[in-house]
Chains A and B, each alone.
Chain A
Amino acid sequence: MKEQLTSQEWMLLSSYLDGELNPREKTRVEALLKSNPDIQAAYESLAKTKAVLRSAPRRKVPRNFTLSAAAVQQPRQIFQWVPALRFSSVIATLAAVFLFVSQLLPGMAARPLTAEQPAMEMLAIPPDSSEKNLASPEADLQETPPVVYWGGPPPPPSLAEGLGGGGVDAPHAGGMGGGGADPGFKAQGFPESLPQPGISLTPPTATVEPLPLEGSGPILGVRESEDQGKALDDDYRSFVPSVVQEQEAVTAAEPSPSLPYIAAGGLLALAAGLWLISILLKKKSL
């Protein structure tokens, strides 16, 4: 019986049983039922099956399923972070793998400092350092340490003001050096109780009246008597400290060869931690 009907005919009979056919289909099925005993039997079997199911006893509810305010509260929002944590973990892992691979591939690894790079080359004078110092003395005043002058004639007031002192014979010594013994110059911004009178410091606003020196010798910062009052090579003295500072900055910025591995290890630890947290949160939510 089952094999004699197509699935389409079974569907029509089933729908006819439930009264879900349109008038045209209904007429067609009723004609078939009258003319074909097999279809009639099939229809009766479906009707009895439905009747059996309908006869199944209905269970009484064991309790009421009404909701309380506590029951309908939204679940804790923390569990919604699980996908984000897992995604972050995967990203951290990929970043760590990329770092490792980039170190293994030739040409991509961080270049270590080798013997072929002479250390002195790092101290090469920037071509524009002296020009920069001359062009922008005010900027250099902030960076260069004060230079102590001992003795010497006072600088002309026009140069000493704002640019620092200088010797009479060195008109280009702006920005560096102390002032001369001009009584018109007063120490500004320097403590009056300085125990070394006669010392002047840059910035140029600080000028101290020099006192005549007594004695001679290789004392640091004390010029020979014949050199007193002459300006030193101010360009050299101004750029050397700045070059040293630049060298220190370059050395500090130079990446260590092991740094990528440390970073990759950190990323892997981060990935493992995030994954572990997501698993713990997932277990709590179940």
Chain B
Amino acid sequence: MDEAGLIQDALRGDLDAFNRLVLAYQEMAFNLAYRMLSDEAAAEDATQTAFISAYRNLKQYRGGSFRAWVMRMVTNTCYDELRRRQRRPTIPLEPFNSAEDEEIESPTWLADHNPTPDEEIETRELEAAIQHCIQELPEEFRAVVLLVDVQGMDYNEVSQAMGKPLGTIKSRLARARLRLRDCLAGFAELLPVQFRLGKEAELR
């Protein structure tokens, strides 16, 4: 894919050229939005909004990593959505356990209740644990760790995507990893053996 050529064509108003770029980055954008928002429908909306915003503001692209520039659009859109949620908090659709008179806290209550293989269950639970720990992070930490550890971007790209200096990215990433490590330690039984930390790995 000639990314630079497609960008130039898109700058001249070629929507098809831009759509080819969309197809190239939509999975990355959607996964980032999903990890940021922890809601598939909201992630879908955010991804679409981010691509529309990217097309409208394509003239502001000043070179460098186009992927980082698109991810910046996605993170900004997710920040807007998170701020909107804070302004208008909603009550989650949690099931109510009438016997114990309390809500069931599992976020996967809407999942398919058909029998599934054990591996699939473990994978789901592990993903739920990871997602839970990611959501516990402050927004600015969350974006950095997702871009580096989940999306595999380098520091320069993340710096460009976040609009922050390299030192800030390094600092936020280290602190985010520390918090994630402590959080994931609480889900040690869900982690594969090779991922378990210290004593948990030895006990297995």
A residues near B (Cβ < 8 Å) are: 2, 7, 10-11, 13-15, 18, 20, 41, 44-46, 48-69, 71-72, 74
Whether the pair B27, A13 counts as a contact (CB closer than 8 A) is no
Q: Mark B68-91, 1 if CB is under 8 A from A, else 0.
A: 000000000000000000000000
Whether the pair B56, A50 counts as a contact (CB closer than 8 A) is no
Closest B-chain residue to A11, C-beta based?
A: B174
Whether the pair B40, A62 counts as a contact (CB closer than 8 A) is yes
Measured in the bound complex, the distance between the Cα atoms of B164 and A100 in whole Å is 51
Q: Mark B117-161, 1 if CB is under 8 A from A, else 0.
A: 000000100110011000000000000010011101011000000
Closest A-chain residue to B166, C-beta based?
A: A20
* Chain B contact surface mostly: helix
CB contact under 8 A between A49 and B52, given known A14-B170, A65-B30, A69-B15: no
| Most central of B130, B148, B149 by chain A CB within 10 Å | B149
The contact of A52 among B22, B30, B51, B191, by CB within 8 Å, is B191
Whether the pair A49, B22 counts as a contact (CB closer than 8 A) is no
Closest A-chain residue to B26, C-beta based?
A: A65
Shortest distance between the CB of B2 and any CB in chain A (Å): 18
Instruction: Flag whether B63 is at the interface (Cβ < 8 A).
Output: no
Instruction: Flag whether B23 is at the interface (Cβ < 8 A).
Output: yes
Shortest distance between the CB of A18 and any CB in chain B (Å): 7
Instruction: Flag whether B104 is at the interface (Cβ < 8 A).
Output: no
Shortest distance between the CB of A248 and any CB in chain B (Å): 62
Whether the pair A7, B52 counts as a contact (CB closer than 8 A) is no
| Most central of A13, A18, A58, A67 by chain B CB within 10 Å | A67
The contact of A20 among B27, B47, B52, B170, by CB within 8 Å, is B170
Stretch at the interface among B93-101, B108-116, B175-183: B175-183
Shortest distance between the CB of B25 and any CB in chain A (Å): 9
Whether the pair A53, B197 counts as a contact (CB closer than 8 A) is no
CB contact under 8 A between A72 and B56, given known A2-B178, A45-B197, A65-B22: yes
